[in-house]
Chains A and B, each alone.
Chain A
């Protein structure tokens, strides 16, 4: 039987446009079968293409409610943006496979606010082309341990109950056992692919935060308990899992609340079950501030945060606070069990040394992640 998405997911979209050129694609046909007829419209150009500029807050909000199924014309597979700043930050060799853009969830700190310039959420219909691209790359690089994630400019799984892309990707990656496929999500949508396990090379990962921050900053996402339950399901079905404690957000009770989050993880999972845990503190581009304030006011822990210009031009917390936050969580994990594999996401060598007393290449458990790979 075809997998049925949650009704609230279908209801969250006001309109679904299908590019004429994509009308016969699998994902378009599935949208036609899932959404009410009056929500579907076949078009021959991108809706709201006059908005190809910085979006206003209202346009950005609206773009979350409009789905556009279309072909992607560029290169699907890219290095993580962190790689371009590798002089300033330690790069963990993450690669990204973009199968859509925009997100149906609504986090106050989301970097897409300063990144997207389209009035619609896109799902790319030509995933087969993406797989051909990966096959071509594999011809030369299948023996290198590439980590490929699908959650850069779209949540990997929040729309997967509609697209079912996971069901294509998981079997595809089995051809290249050295490679790792990583889904990164704040949803609890995993039921649609659990039957494809076991697959240790598929890492299903969650951005986690403490309940207080999820409540105030991560709107329309799955609650912490839902995310952890989904992670447990994945472990049971034989998938690898990972957690991203990122962004850690300062709030008056941060020590207590983040400590409770770490305890929850340690109580429910073992280091053997968790592929890696990445950590990072709040950061965003200065250009994003205005839209964030317009969309979330100044009563948010993100918009009212004390941020300063840092290396790489992003705004970050005071360095000593960042180090204190990272060190506090890191020590809690390591004091519990030294086997937890923890790394810092998009952080400078100075922060690594100051927060963790070391650099990634000096940590046996992380060497493989940070070893330089051929550029593709």
Chain B
């Protein structure tokens, strides 16, 4: 039954929900705590949800907010008012997340990171595991890094890569301020110096490629090699290119044996 208005609620579980509460519905409260409709006017009506043994707060949250993102979940669980009414494990499991001590650490950390980064996690549906590297940093360093990640506005995979490499390098005693100004390529070279040298060596090999072959050195996971493009309009041309490829293979092989 609606008997109160938002202005009557001092205790508000404001967790920056990403979806706006419909104007046409009353806001909701539970045990005297406002749990939805935070953005509505002071005169907006509030419906007090019944509390009882059959309905736990976690279940209510899931019904009201069926698809919480990781940061939303974090902000609910670590909201000061939640301690009174929420069983975090139940909410985490009901929302379909895999609970663990590290998962909880990530949730806690998320609430301490800049809002822009929290919103990026939500919009890109980033998983908790992808954020694990941040747990190895101090909150000051994690904040510096995540602010920079937002500024750079790279793709999700580039951002996750940068996050992991930077965290690794900080643990390897590199200065985070110097790392933050590196390009992704430079960061990769810093994290993988030996592989970079091997790749550069491969790229610099003086192999007898025909001008009709267009080799491009590439790294694919744990392999580096040449992606070769060619065009042949006759069987004769193809044979000539195949002969040339054999010569390249011989030269490459002899180089490998020398090293």
Contacts and interface: CB of A to CB of B under 8 A. Distances in A.
A317 B222 contact: yes
Interface in A270-293: 287, 290, 293
Interface in B185-231: 191-195, 198, 202, 219, 221-224
B92 to A, nearest CB: 12
A53 B99 contact: yes
A318 interface: yes
A290 B129 CA distance: 9
Interface residues of A, number: 27
A298 B98 CA distance: 26
A306 B194 contact: yes
Contacts of B132: 290
Contacts of A310: 221-222
Given A290-B102, A290-B133, A297 B198 contact: no
B171 A321 contact: no
Interface string A301-336: 000101111100000111111101000000000000
Interface string A50-82: 000110101100000000000000000000000
A59 B101 CA distance: 10
B82 to A, nearest CB: 22
A299 interface: yes
B186 to A, nearest CB: 16
A250 interface: yes
B168 A304 contact: yes
A294 interface: yes
Contacts of B100: 53-54, 56
B87 to A, nearest CB: 15
B136 interface: yes
Contact of A299 (B101, B172, B192, B198): B172
Contacts of B191: 306
B170 to A, nearest CB: 8
B194 A308 contact: no
A298 B172 contact: yes
A319 B223 contact: yes
Contacts of B259: 324
A148 B194 CA distance: 39
Contacts of A308: 195, 219, 221-222
Nearest to A299: B172
A173 B195 CA distance: 47
A293 B102 CA distance: 13
Contacts of B219: 308
A319 B195 CA distance: 10
B96 to A, nearest CB: 15
Nearest to A57: B102
Contacts of A319: 222-224
Contacts of B168: 293, 298, 304
Interface in A32-65: 53-54, 56, 58-59
A318 B224 contact: yes
A54 B98 CA distance: 9
A321 B195 CA distance: 8
A63 to B, nearest CB: 14
Most buried by A among B101, B202, B224: B101
Given A293-B136, A309-B222, A320-B224, A56 B198 contact: no
A53 B104 CA distance: 14
B222 A318 contact: yes
Most buried by B among A59, A304, A320, A324: A320
B136 A294 contact: yes
Most buried by B among A250, A294, A298: A298
Interface of B: 98-102, 129, 132-133, 135-136, 168, 171-172, 191-195, 198, 202, 219, 221-224, 259
16 contacts: A53-B100, A54-B98, A56-B100, A56-B101, A59-B101, A290-B135, A293-B133, A298-B172, A299-B172, A306-B191, A308-B219, A318-B194, A318-B198, A319-B222, A321-B198, A322-B222
Given A53-B99, A310-B222, A318-B223, 20 more contacts: A53-B100, A54-B98, A56-B101, A56-B102, A59-B101, A287-B129, A293-B133, A293-B136, A298-B172, A304-B168, A306-B191, A306-B194, A306-B195, A308-B221, A309-B222, A318-B224, A319-B222, A319-B224, A321-B194, A321-B195
